[in-house]
Chains A and B, each alone.
Chain A
Amino acid sequence: MLFRTAARQAAPLRRHAFTPLTRRTVTTDAASANVETPVPQEDEKPFTVRLSDESFETYELDPPSYTLETSKKEMKQMYYDMVAMRRMEMAADRLYKEKKIRGFCHLSTGQEAVAVGIEHAITRMDKVITAYRCHGFAMMRGGTVKSIIGELLGRREGIAYGKGGSMHMFAENFYGGNGIVGAQVPVGAGLAFAQQYNEQPNTSIVLYGDGASNQGQVFEAFNMAKLWNLPVLFGCENNKYGMGTSASRSSALTEYYKRGQYIPGLKVNGMDVLATKAAVQYSKNYAINGNGPLVLEYVTYRYGGHSMSDPGTTYRSREEIQRMRSTNDPIAGLKQKMLEWGVTSEEELKALDKTARSKVDAEVAEAEAMAAPENNSRILFEDIYVRGSEPKWMRGRTVDETFYY
């Protein structure tokens, strides 16, 4: 079998493919931070948190400060956001299984600390663009639960009027929700160019997965961003699996924060919302002070499958999922720290949980009660123009189908 031998020699890379190479040297412990001084009584008074020494790794970059200023109020808000986000994703999961949501749907359960940590480090004037695992980001950018669930259900009250569905949600300074793997990355560089051109003191947060990081256009975007010194924070959400293939089986270099080569990189514990916030806060300052782009890597984990049709257990062990869930969960980690530091009492936390749950549930119920769009021409011709700016009439598919607004 001469041919087979030749084939083996010709593909030396594949020999490595089956020995796990993945190095994820930052910790994924969601409860690794500490406080050195007692937490103040006042809700809004800032105090300092010491992050774990294993929160970051850097590439050609001075590490960010390992301390973070936060407040009881902010921590409670972070906690609330993560709980609400997970509750919403669980509702989407249920509605999908009940066949009320159809089509493609990618849930971010387990990755909440990334979206929440980022949002707490930036302002509403900063821009965010991500791939199709976008429900949580849409929520953090100001989308209501009912508008997001309504969108998944294809309702007119949805965040994209029901015309986009799961992967295509937009909000103010949130540019989606993009269905094509990696396609949002160069678009994100463009967003940052506009910010630089208009001299805005803002940054663009551009997210993609470990799978997408192998797309050619990601590297094209890196080059332009560095060449023109754009204030863009590329961010690889490394959840270990690009669809059903583990990072080490798809990537020659799994240290995604070094993928920018000539762009400094920062790897961060994406299971710890506090470390994520610290990293993004630092990076934003770096970018808007004229230092150009950064490549971040948020080390995280998705509990569910890639999409609703993937049970998520054929390419990883149930034990691995269970271990991440029980020991590295971002919500449980923050909860533990909040109780330990006296940020909140057990009762107050329970009440917070309950509020988050009931608010999300109520909005989900509202979305479920929204009527399916009727099959009539008024609705069919809706949203061709911005509502309220329609012309007198629009030609339809044929001349006799002209619609008069």
Chain B
Amino acid sequence: MVPLRTPLRSWTHIPRRFYSGAPTPAAKLNLPIDYKTTPILHHTSSSLANTQDFPAGATSKRLNFFQAINSALKTALSKSEKVLLFGEDVAFGGVFRCSMDLQTEFGSDRVFNTPLTEQGIAGFAIGCAVEGMKPVAEIQFADYVFPAFDQIVNEAAKFRYREGGTGINAGGLVIRMPCGAVGHGALYHSQSPESLFAHIPGVRVVMPRSPAQAKGLLLASIFEHNDPVVFMEPKILYRAAVEHVPNEYYTIPLSKAEVIKPGKDLTVISYGQPLYMCSAAISAIEQAMPGVNVELIDLRTIYPWDRQTVIESVKKTGRAVVVHESMVNYGVGAEVAATLQENAFLRLEAPVKRVAGWSTHTGLSYEQFILPDVARIFDGIKQTLEY
């Protein structure tokens, strides 16, 4: 790009900053997330029992994220004969093992492979859904969903708007897709396109943060709504996140955010995998700045989202930082920030900060520079507190 203005600094003084690679405080902050101790997950069954949303007195089992998805799908397929599961290679378990053994148990009439035809998969699923089925369609990676974009935006999302009083809807349709970066996915296995779908009235966009959340949200998506749901699963969590998950059927309401950790000085709003980094950054900042108490909110449903919980929280704390992995430009953070300035303007003590992925594609060797990390979140919180 051609610079419009010469920078104010003189050419002789060349500032050099060496990013997160140099030995900065970031080196201490950007430790690998310890999924065994993070407060985000239910490490014991008793911590699960004390939480709302979960059935009281339920038995539970430690499952990782893909096992929880598997358990939810199994529960759904047993609960209703109208539930179908299909996608590329789902018959032998899917690339991430989410549909393991389901074809054996429920038969190839209900769990089956499709050709590699994303647009077809989405359209086919919509057709099933409007006939009263509850199709769970898998797109193998969120990066592959774009051929299906037309079907989702123009057919699924607009169904209820144009049904002409027939009452037909595409409810029960859930399009599942693994999303997000794992560190070496490069251009076509790292994307997180939630904000593209969140622009479209008529679809619900959900991204769970943990195994127990995933099961409840997936079951709610299948059984409790007359809107189609785009259900995004952060694939880095499939094996990494392990927690106690209730064995039986339960749902977690869509479009309802959750305050994971209450606080009084600042609100961090996030969803999906970055919540683990937010949690680490918050404990670091609370250690570094004694007396500070930060609230952490998981949006859970990205669209239509729970404005009330977020606005109330920020009215209380006066400061907000929005964190997400996908690119910052036109991202979820922009929507949250705009909503907050509209609804909590007089209570804001600082501009709403966005900490998100940079606006670029994901090169093979450079993923760690693009995504938000604990140090950047820490920095964002600190700047907002000190504004």
Query: Which residues of A approach B to under 8 Å, CB–CB?
Result: 3-4, 7-8, 11, 14, 17-18, 102-104, 154, 162-165, 167-168, 179-182, 211-212, 214-217, 242-245, 249-251, 309, 314-315, 372-377, 380, 391, 393, 395, 397, 400-402, 404
What separation, in Å, do the CA atoms of A18 and B108 have in the docked complex? 10
- Distance from A236 Cβ to chain B, minimum over Cβ atoms (Å): 13
B369 partner residues in chain A, CB cutoff 8 A: 375, 380
B144 partner residues in chain A, CB cutoff 8 A: 180-181
Count of chain A to chain B residue pairs whose CB atoms are closer than 8 Å in the complex: 131
Most buried by A among B1, B3, B183, B188: B188
What separation, in Å, do the CA atoms of A225 and B114 have in the docked complex? 27
Q: A244-B92, A250-B115, A314-B92 are in contact. Are A217 and B109 (CB under 8 A)?
A: no
Q: Are A164 and B15 in contact (CB under 8 A)?
A: no
A102 partner residues in chain B, CB cutoff 8 A: 183-184
Count of B residues near A, CB < 8 Å?
50
Q: A180-B144, A216-B117 are in contact. Are A309 and B95 (CB under 8 A)?
A: yes
B120: nearest residue on chain A (CB-CB)? Answer: A216
Q: What are the interface flags for B157-188 relative to A under an 8 Å C-beta threshold, 1 for contact and 0 otherwise? A: 00000000000000000000000000111111
Q: Would you call B57 an interface residue if the criterion is a C-beta within 8 Å of the partner chain's C-beta atoms?
A: no
Which residues in window 69-111 of B have CB below 8 A to A? 81-82, 88-89, 91-92, 95, 108-110
Interface majority SS (helix, strand, loop, mixed), chain A = loop
A375: nearest residue on chain B (CB-CB)? Answer: B21
Q: Are A214 and B117 in contact (CB under 8 A)?
A: yes
Q: A103-B184, A180-B144, A402-B15 are in contact. Are A212 and B116 (CB under 8 A)?
A: yes
B88 partner residues in chain A, CB cutoff 8 A: 243, 245
A252: nearest residue on chain B (CB-CB)? Answer: B115
Q: Are A376 and B186 in contact (CB under 8 A)?
A: no
- Distance from B106 Cβ to chain A, minimum over Cβ atoms (Å): 11
| B116 contact from A167, A181, A377, Cβ within 8 A | A181
Q: Are B19 and A104 in contact (CB under 8 A)?
A: no
Which residues in window 10-30 of B have CB below 8 A to A? 11, 14-22
B89 partner residues in chain A, CB cutoff 8 A: 243-245
| B143 contact from A180, A309, A373, A404, Cβ within 8 A | A180
Q: Would you call B7 an interface residue if the criterion is a C-beta within 8 Å of the partner chain's C-beta atoms?
A: yes
10 A-B pairs with C-beta separation under 8 A: A4-B109, A7-B109, A14-B109, A164-B187, A165-B184, A179-B186, A244-B92, A245-B91, A380-B366, A401-B19
What separation, in Å, do the CA atoms of A102 and B190 have in the docked complex? 13
A182 partner residues in chain B, CB cutoff 8 A: 116, 147
A397 partner residues in chain B, CB cutoff 8 A: 358
A212 partner residues in chain B, CB cutoff 8 A: 116
- Distance from B315 Cβ to chain A, minimum over Cβ atoms (Å): 29
Q: A104-B189, A216-B147 are in contact. Are A243 and B366 (CB under 8 A)?
A: no
B358: nearest residue on chain A (CB-CB)? Answer: A397
Q: Are B188 and A167 in contact (CB under 8 A)?
A: yes
B247 partner residues in chain A, CB cutoff 8 A: none
